[in-house]
Amino acid sequence: MPESDRRPASNLPPLSLHIPEPRYRPGDTPDFGDIEVPAVDATPRPGEATKPDAMRDLCYGLVRVLDFDGAAKGQWDPKLSPERLRTMLRYMMLVRAFDDRMFRAQRQGKTSFYMKCTGEEATSVASTMALDRGDMCFPSYRQQGILIARDYPLIQMMNQIYSNRGDHLMGRQLPIMYSAPEHGFFSVSGNLATQYPQAVGWAMASASKGDSRIATVWCGEGSSAEGDFHSALTFATVYNAPVIFNVVNNQWAISSFSGFAGGERTTFAARAVGYGIAGLRIDGNDPLAVYAATQWAADRARTNNGPTLIEHFTYRSEGHSTSDDPTAYRPASEPTIWPFGDPIARLRQHLETLGEWDGERHEAQRSELDDLVKTTQKQSEKLGILGHGMHQPFETMFQDVFEEMPWHLKEQCTQMLAEQEAKFGPDWKPE
């Protein structure tokens, strides 16, 4: 007899199962008024060597630097030069221009897939700028800002997105799953959070060799539910690994709100408490807070004071990917009323408040970056777009499974080439 039929008569109150539900669905008028927004200068900045148990409050607060009037305040202000701030703004604007263009290219049928990071630009751009150039980044799939902040050639990103002749990954990977070792950017997997223990391993290796480079890794709040996340934090605390964990809490994992990763009960930064590592919860739409927190965590890691978990509290303004329509599961107005605004607008406002930027320069830069992306796109498209002609020799399908091709793959390759010859004739060559 199944257990469900065996339930004894009981005068105890019935148990009930909680299924999380976001507060607002399409058609509702959302209100984020209950999100606590601590004052900009309310959060103390502990020393980088502070013991995790002496700074637990930071897991539940919110590190902020920029107020909503564009002023930088408090102990966390990284006090960057105007030049550095303008560079940061430029990178974030370039990410947005790139995203818009590539999103459109997907809609025009030039590639299969794209993922924007609109509203989350600071979480990768400002973070990367606070690292050393040799530090290793283990991205999830929405950190194109790392590559852009490290001046990776845009055309190479586009070639990958188009799986064209210039794609050094030979069309094997879904668009945006870049790999750029020379730019300290690990190959994007597509399986979620697998990069977490890998980053710890890289950091452990660096520490064991007496290197000075650290590792840093990103995942979303949704994939922080994966076992890999917890494996990684366990190893990191056990070996005091020089690694920075970024959880980009953009509230949504496709259609699942953060409650399905445990967000109803506590913060994601608070995961650090149980592991005995440092945790910081920050305004992820405040580029200076992101910079300051990363700089703090990097200094901490580099001085053998261990790992840090940073929760970037932010909002995914657009769909999960080109395959997603967020208006099917959340109110369309949510992104516009998000209380922390837009990271690009906020940094622009800050620079303007400082008298280091103005609307004219901003518009000029936007149009310059749009042109840059458009020109680069044309160059990339000369090397082909997905689904229009073949861009890689067929036999590349069998290369790199192993360093040396074993007999069974050679046989299968021969078979496949014969199939292609039967289909296209003997004189066919890839474009």
Partner 1 sequence: MMNADTLTATKTMNMIEAINSAMDVMLARDDKVVVMGEDVGFFGGVFRATAGLQKKHGKTRVFDTPINECGIIGVAVGMGAYGLRPVPEIQFADYIYPGLDQLVSEAARLRYRSAADFICPMTVRTPFGGGIFGGQTHSQSPESIMTHICGVKTVIPSNPYDAKGLLIAAIEDNDPVVFLEPKRIYNGPFSGYYDRPVEPWSKHAASAVPEEYYRIELGRAATVREGEALTILAYGTMVHVTKTIVEEMGIDAEIIDLRTLLPLDIEAIETSVKKTGRCLVIHEATRTSGFGAELAALVQERCFYHLEAPVERVTGFDTPYPHSLEWAYFPGPVRIATALTKILKD
CA atoms within 13 A on the CB side of 390: 11
CB of 183 to partner 1, least distance (A): 11
Which residue, 206 or 267, is less far from partner 1 as judged by CB? 206
List Cβ<8 Å contacts ≥24 apart for 369-376: 369/90, 369/93, 369/94, 369/97, 370/97, 370/101, 372/94, 372/97, 372/154, 373/94, 373/97, 373/98, 373/101, 373/154, 374/101, 376/154, 376/155, 376/158
User: Which residues of this chain interact with partner 1, rule CB under 8 A?
Assistant: 136, 138, 168-170, 172-173, 177, 179-181, 186-187, 189, 191, 194, 196-206, 208-209, 215, 227-228, 231-232, 234-235, 238, 400-403, 406-408
Which residue, 71 or 409, is less far from partner 1 as judged by CB? 409
CB of 393 to partner 1, least distance (A): 13
CB of 126 to partner 1, least distance (A): 24
Which residue, 98 or 185, is less far from partner 1 as judged by CB? 185
**Helix runs in 132-183, H state only:** 144-149, 154-162
Which residue, 43 or 159, is less far from partner 1 as judged by CB? 159
Burial of 78 (C-beta count, 10 Å sphere; 0-12/13-18/19+): buried
Q: Which residues contact 259 (CB under 8 A, 6 or more apart)?
A: 20, 21, 22
What is the Cα–Cα distance from 188 to 385, expressed in whole angstroms?
21
CB of 161 to partner 1, least distance (A): 15
Report whether 80 contacts 291 (CB < 8 A): yes
185 alpha carbon, distance to own chain's centre: 12
Which residue, 155 or 170, is less far from partner 1 as judged by CB? 170
Which residue, 327 or 412, is less far from partner 1 as judged by CB? 412
CB of 213 to partner 1, least distance (A): 9
CB of 265 to partner 1, least distance (A): 24
